[in-house]
Structure 1
Amino acid sequence: MRTAKIARKTGETDIAVEINLDGTGTYDISTGIGFLDHMIEQLSRHSLIDVSLTVEGDLHVDQHHTTEDSAIALGEAVAEALGDKAGIRRYGSAYSPMDETLSRVALDISGRPFLVWNSGFTQERLGEMDTELIQHWFHSFAGSAGITLHIETLYGDNNHHICESVFKGLARALRDAVEIDPRKEGAIPSTKGTLG
């Protein structure tokens, strides 16, 4: 089983996360930010990665540290569970429609973190979550997971749909990329012999 358990404690947040890459998409998410919980639940359900994530953050200050550190811890757990990445498909992509919205997500578990973000929002909050933090969540996740991540919303009007489509797109792309390819027989998916 490709699993990981991460504990991250700073002066700003106290986080516990457990994942199973080969799960069924079960989740138990509590960040203190309802909309963020909903998005990470979508990520778990549609990637089939089991996720247990609890965050106690300094929400009396603002949502920045909780949002950022939840992504960092989750990304660290994904990286740890992948180990040396032997046998994985490595690449994943997905078109993610949600009503009037269509987003495209492509990623490479390369060990070289990078985010290209071509999405955005026309309102300041979704639920109680500041929408400016959504891009930052993806940036932090890509950085700690060690993935190259490209996100683009091709069109859409409803801010909730836009956000949910990019999280679900990440989920489906990640599901493909972390899967073991039986044709690779445990080989590292790189001509260099290593990823990173």
Structure 2
Amino acid sequence: MARPEEAVAALVASRDILLAAGRFRQAADREKQVAELYKGDAGDAAKARDAYERAAGWYAQEGAAATASGCYRESATLAIEVGDFKGALERWEQVAAMALESNLTRYSVKDYYLAAGGCYLAIPDYVACGNAMGFYAQQDPSFPGTMEGRFLHSLLTACEAGDVAALDAAVADYDRTKRVSGYMATLLRAVRKAVQDEPDLA
């Protein structure tokens, strides 16, 4: 699209009319379109994230939990892109909590916990990551035994030891089974950098 700002302006005008009429679900649809424009044609991750957040809030208000969750996931991935790992982990944990409420979405919880745990490691806050993993196991007792749970444990162990080689080996092993790409690749690069930047206190 040659002029995404014009499309955004038109969508925002439509959104505001819908909000004034109390039609929050339709307003959320427009705001989601705004987010998609910012993410794609406009290339503005921060504005896209803000728009996804607003859309998610309105969807949740209208009881459209699945669509709200999708917007929160988009927000979380964009937060990783801009380096806001604290904001990202909060959203991943929220999405996980929402997923646990339905048998149809519980299967995805392991991916959300892995992403949230990775954000703790990227901050880096290894103590908080360990505590979070204990909480995840309480919420979903199957998580520690999943491939994602074992991978997160390996990452934390390597990070605590300051062992970049062990970290790389864990990532390579995981990648052989489940391709590391997109936001997860970005996140794992940040985790690796955090380990490299940690001062050697030995």
Same fold (TM over 0.5): no
Query: Higher Cα Rg: structure 1 or 2?
Result: 2
Tell me which interval the TM-score lies in, with the shorter structure as reference length.
under 0.3
> Which protein has the bigger helix share?
2
Q: TM-score, with normalisation over the residues of structure 2?
A: 0.26
